[in-house]
Homo-oligomer: A and B are copies of this chain.
């Protein structure tokens, strides 16, 4: 099979992206430390037409050369906002009628492959710090927790990988492809 050339991929421009319909999903970064991870979340959010990324606490904001290295320009297509406290971002999301999920291993979390999104006006997905995960005070404000089942030696996946897997699943369910 012939590998497609870049011009055969029919990608949209940054201006077209801004005007394009997005999925009603906002990704929240709760004190994500690594600029690589932040950039990577932008690139994934661009691919799945995520509505916005909320950068919170110590999470760095664009423009930044090291975010650009992994975002590769997606930090200019995907809308973002900064909040000093992640808790304030969650409160704003609730005011705006978003249902907020933390991606975290908690007592009572739903496994990602068993998650069935109820029809809602909008969804948010909170990704946590590389070492501490999503803060307990943030989890306490979320509507539910979702967890990726893991069977290896390490206690967690890299946050940008876990985020990628979860964003893909939210994308499929929001688009109605519930039959993956």
Q: A residues within 8 Å of B by Cβ?
A: 1-4, 6, 9, 11-14, 16-17, 20, 36, 40, 43-49, 70, 72-74, 77-78, 104-109, 113, 133-134, 136, 139-140, 145, 148, 150-155, 157-158, 160-162, 164-165, 168-169, 172, 177, 179-180
Q: A176 to B4: give the CA distance in the assembly, Å.
A: 31
The 10 closest A-B pairs by CB, nearest first: A46-B152, A161-B164, A1-B106, A47-B150, A180-B180, A47-B152, A1-B108, A77-B153, A2-B107, A4-B105
> Beyond A4-B106, A47-B150, is A9–B180 a contact (Cβ under 8 Å)?
no
Residue of B nearest to A111 (CB): B177
Q: List the number of copies, as a whole number.
A: 2
Partner of A11, one of B108, B140, B154, B164: B154
Tell me if A158 and B43 are in contact (CB < 8 A): yes
Tell me if B180 and A74 are in contact (CB < 8 A): no
Residue of B nearest to A36 (CB): B36
> Beyond A1-B106, A1-B108, A113-B172, is A74–B11 a contact (Cβ under 8 Å)?
no
Contacts of A11 in B (CB 8 A): 150, 152-155
Partner of A17, one of B16, B47, B152: B152
Tell me if B13 and A153 are in contact (CB < 8 A): yes
Partner of A161, one of B77, B160, B177, B180: B160
